[in-house]
Chains A and B, each alone.
Chain A
Amino acid sequence: MSLGRILALLSRHMYLYKRSFARLLEIFYWPFLDLVVWGFITIYLEKVGMSLHGAVSFFLGALILWDVLFRAQQGIAVSFLEEMWARNLMNLFASPLTVGEYLVATMTMSVLKVIAVGGLMMLFAWVFYSYDILQMGFSLLPFVLNLVISGWIIGVLTTSIIMRFGQQAEVLAWGMVFLFQPISCVFYPIEVLPPMLQSIAWMVPPAHIFEGMRAVLTTGDLPVMHLLWATGLNFGFLVIIVAWFYHTFNICKDRGMLVRVGE
């Protein structure tokens, strides 16, 4: 594993973001609009006297954490699309760059995106709605880390599918994560789901994370069981999905698809 090659790939994306207004907009514009809309919804809910204790914390906290997951996933999937659109995959994989280094670079890229978007959303929430997500204290950190890993898992899965099926699958870079949203129980407790979906949701790490977040907000205690489940499931899925990515990469090399991705 070469740090130099990982940094090379990161520098390629930094150059891109430095001068791309569209890409900067993606980081700042949508999260800002999301926050504004959900902020007004929570204010409305509180005004009409809905007996939802701490509506702002529930919704804005959930929204910020959902964006952590979304951006972590996009950091990986969109980075691959950038290479596909630029027809740069041949330059990368005909160089000494390994698949592992490529994955680490895109995962790092996703962390940088999460820091940028998350930091900005926290700032907006604090300025416009006097909401400070950091009031959750250190309990927040393990949940955020787990969300980032969940984002990597969905991102690597999405990338594998795009690599295998090409441009016709690129919409998944934005859509795949929403497939997991209903069972991640971002804005509602898991018991709202029908029993069958609840069983599925308990197998999805983000469901434990958002349940855990709500527990922190209501009790102030760190829900250790949710954290352990989220971490265990994340670790298992990450191993499986990385192995799946290597397998797909080898299939693409065998079928000559790697040199045709994006055509």
Chain B
Amino acid sequence: MPASGSKAFPVVEVRNLTKRFQGFTAVDNISFDIKKGEILGLLGPNGAGKTTTIHMLLGLITPTVGSIHMFGLDLATHRETILQQVNFSSTYISMPFSLTVEENLKVIARLYELKHIQQRIDDIVKKLEMEDIRHRLTRKLSSGQMSRLTLAKAIMTEPKVLFLDEPTASLDPDIVNKIKSFLKEYQRSEGLSILYTSHNMREMEEMSDRIIFLQRGKIVAEGTAPEIIQRYGQRDLEEVFLKLAREQNGP
């Protein structure tokens, strides 16, 4: 059951968030909430500001204007407490390639000061079907295995909020299917809140309780997938995406 209609309290509250880089506005005065147990899809063409938004939510980029609160705390002043309960995964990030999968997971577990580290690693390795690669050097992983590793490092810390930046990009359909099923199941069982970006519209419809469409750093549409499709008079989310993206890029 989507959380969008529930009265769940927001775990992430973003207000008037803006990021300007030397004359260029990457994110322009956006505000949104993510409720407990909700998957919020962040959609938009390349350069719309999705990744910059996630980087600001992770404290890696300082906003020019605006505020980010998680669990009722201001990220600017409670960074450590917040990040202890947050994690992220992306197809585009890497992990130290001279370490094995298990060593990388151990380092992350220690960084988040987890208890029962070996037990947690055993569990996550089993859940994500990584037994055969746990002692393999990270540099020898395929892109699908690397995606599973970055997802494993994010899930292992048992975050309350998870940011997923195109977690299934350039992966084969079988792995995409497994990752999506795992995420859905994990999100339901743990009440996890997720911010999800993807260029795959079908995946977005399938995964997200609610969608925000970003264009040139601004929110141009917000709602459930059917609401957005109906509002723009299109057949599916992909058509909405194309319509809005072409508006951004010009004819």
Interface residues, chain A, CB within 8 Å of chain B? Answer: 2, 4-5, 7-9, 11-12, 15-16, 19-20, 82, 86-88, 90-98, 250, 253-256, 258-259
The reply to whether the CB of B184 lies closer than 8 angstroms to some CB of chain A is no
The 10 tightest CB contacts between A and B, nearest first, are A8-B110, A94-B58, A87-B94, A86-B96, A8-B111, A4-B113, A12-B107, A96-B80, A15-B103, A96-B83
Give the segment of B29-37, B59-67, B123-131, B198-206 that binds chain A: B59-67
Contacts of B99 in A (CB 8 A): 12, 15-16
The reply to whether the CB of B50 lies closer than 8 angstroms to some CB of chain A is no
Given contacts A11-B106, A95-B83, A253-B62, contact A5 B96 (CB under 8 A): no
**B62-83 vs A, Cβ < 8 Å mask (1 yes, 0 no):** 1000000000000000011101
Instruction: Find out whether the CB atom of B110 lies under 8 angstroms from the CB atom of A7.
Output: yes
Contacts of A16 in B (CB 8 A): 96, 98-99
Residue in A15, A93, A256 whose beta carbon sits within 8 Å of that of B21 in the complex: A256
Q: Which B residue's beta carbon lies closest to that of A89?
A: B60
Contacts of A259 in B (CB 8 A): 55, 60-61
CB distance from A253 to the nearest CB of B (A): 5
Distance A86 CA – B206 CA, assembled complex (angstroms)? 33
**Complex A-B: 21 CB contacts under 8 Å:** A4-B110, A8-B108, A8-B110, A15-B99, A82-B96, A88-B96, A91-B93, A91-B108, A92-B111, A94-B58, A94-B59, A94-B88, A95-B108, A96-B79, A96-B81, A96-B83, A96-B112, A256-B19, A256-B21, A256-B52, A259-B60
The reply to whether the CB of B160 lies closer than 8 angstroms to some CB of chain A is no
The reply to whether the CB of B97 lies closer than 8 angstroms to some CB of chain A is yes
Contacts of B81 in A (CB 8 A): 96
Given contacts A11-B106, A90-B60, A259-B61, contact A95 B96 (CB under 8 A): no
CB distance from A27 to the nearest CB of B (A): 16
The reply to whether the CB of B224 lies closer than 8 angstroms to some CB of chain A is no
Q: Which A residue's beta carbon lies closest to that of B84?
A: A96
Question: With contacts A2-B113, A82-B96, A94-B58 known, what are 19 further pairs, Cβ within 8 A?
Answer: A11-B106, A11-B110, A15-B98, A16-B96, A86-B97, A87-B93, A87-B94, A91-B95, A95-B83, A96-B79, A96-B81, A96-B83, A96-B111, A253-B60, A254-B62, A256-B52, A256-B55, A258-B60, A258-B61
Contacts of A97 in B (CB 8 A): 111
Given contacts A11-B106, A259-B55, contact A91 B153 (CB under 8 A): yes
Instruction: Find out whether the CB atom of B88 lies under 8 angstroms from the CB atom of A88.
Output: no
CB distance from A110 to the nearest CB of B (A): 19
Contacts of B103 in A (CB 8 A): 15
Contacts of B107 in A (CB 8 A): 8-9, 11-12, 15
Residue in A4, A7, A88, A254 whose beta carbon sits within 8 Å of that of B94 in the complex: A88
Distance A250 CA – B62 CA, assembled complex (angstroms)? 8
Distance A2 CA – B114 CA, assembled complex (angstroms)? 13
Instruction: Find out whether the CB atom of B111 lies under 8 angstroms from the CB atom of A94.
Output: no
CB distance from A11 to the nearest CB of B (A): 6
Q: Which B residue's beta carbon lies closest to that of A16?
A: B98
Distance A87 CA – B21 CA, assembled complex (angstroms)? 22
